[in-house]
Amino acid sequence: MANLKEVKNRISSVTSTQQITSAMKMVAAAKLKRAQDKITQMRPYSQKLTGLLQNVSAGMDDNAENIYGQEREVNNVLLVVISSDRGLCGAFNNNVFKATVALIKEKYADVEQDGGLHILPLGKKSFEYFSKRDYQVIDKYYGLFSNLSFEEAKGTAEEVMKSFVDGKYDRVELVYNEFKNVATQVLQVEQFLPVATLEQPEEETTTFSFTTQEYIYQPSKEFMLEELVPKSLKVQFYKAALESNASEHGARMTAMDQATDNAGEMLKALKLAYNRTRQAAITKEILEIVGGAEALASDG
């Protein structure tokens, strides 16, 4: 059994840890509120813009060229892996890494073997993870979350889009956590480029979401695509970063809440052990005193 000093030191250490995790939980909760407000405001705009883009793309003439929708033989792939800059957020980052590795094995094993697979890590943790495992990592933008804003995300998105247009990559996919609620994050793997078009169903349907809508364009469909597609892609990229950011704070808040509860349970066990050890020490001292008194009495 540990002595009183060791148990007391452990109680002090766990108490300090509990105070830290509790403070981190409150900080994460405050950041989560701001991040949640941003993504809640962004979602309707992003969804409507993406839906409009798909409808316009599906209704384009065959001779109309959409440089961001060119389907090519997939020889070079860029995976944009969005993680966090810091840890202490449970399985948030590991889930993204596992999903990315599974995607590579299932879909792009041949591309990786031929040296055509590249990873753009958004977040320090993803940069560290894939760099240590000898993947071809682009380290130019991994610090995006130090100052997350549309301007920062737009610059990264423009570089990715330019690489696709120049033929450096034939496909670009995003891997990130989508925010559902504080305790739930859903992994998403989205094709960023080439732009997916809305497919027409074979049979007639009255469902709005699957029917290509007819629009009147001014000045033209081509001009709309030139303006709409880049903007939609930048918004989609920024939305993915916001989703991941909100998910990170939610995961960290949950992890710190559980750590605080675990510290409380550990304190209960330590205090019980401390009291038992103290009681045993007191009992031992009493027995020694009684034994000494009896010895003196017998001598007298």
Q: Which residues are identified as catalytic?
A: 89
CA 32 to the chain's CA centroid: 13
Of 8, 12, 38, 291, nearest to 299 by C-alpha is 291
Q: How far out from the chain centre does Cα 162 lie? A: 25
The torsion angles phi and psi of 238, rounded to 5 degrees, stand at -65, -40
Q: Apex CA 225: angle with CA 219 and CA 226, to 5°? A: 90
Q: Is 279 exposed, middle or buried (0-12, 13-18, 19+ CB in 10 A)?
A: exposed
Please state the three-class secondary structure of 102-165 as a single string: HHHHHHCHHHHHCCCEEEEEECHHHHHHHHHCCCCECCCCCCHHHHCCHHHHHHHHHHHHHHHH
Residue 201: cis peptide before it, omega within 30 degrees of 0: no
Count how many residues are written for the chain.
Answer: 300
Burial of 31: CB neighbours in 10 Å, binned 0-12, 13-18, 19+: middle
Peptide linkage before 121 cis (omega within 30 of 0): no
Look up residue 99 and give its two tokens.
Answer: 């999903």
Residues 252 and 88 sit within 8 Å (Cβ to Cβ):
yes
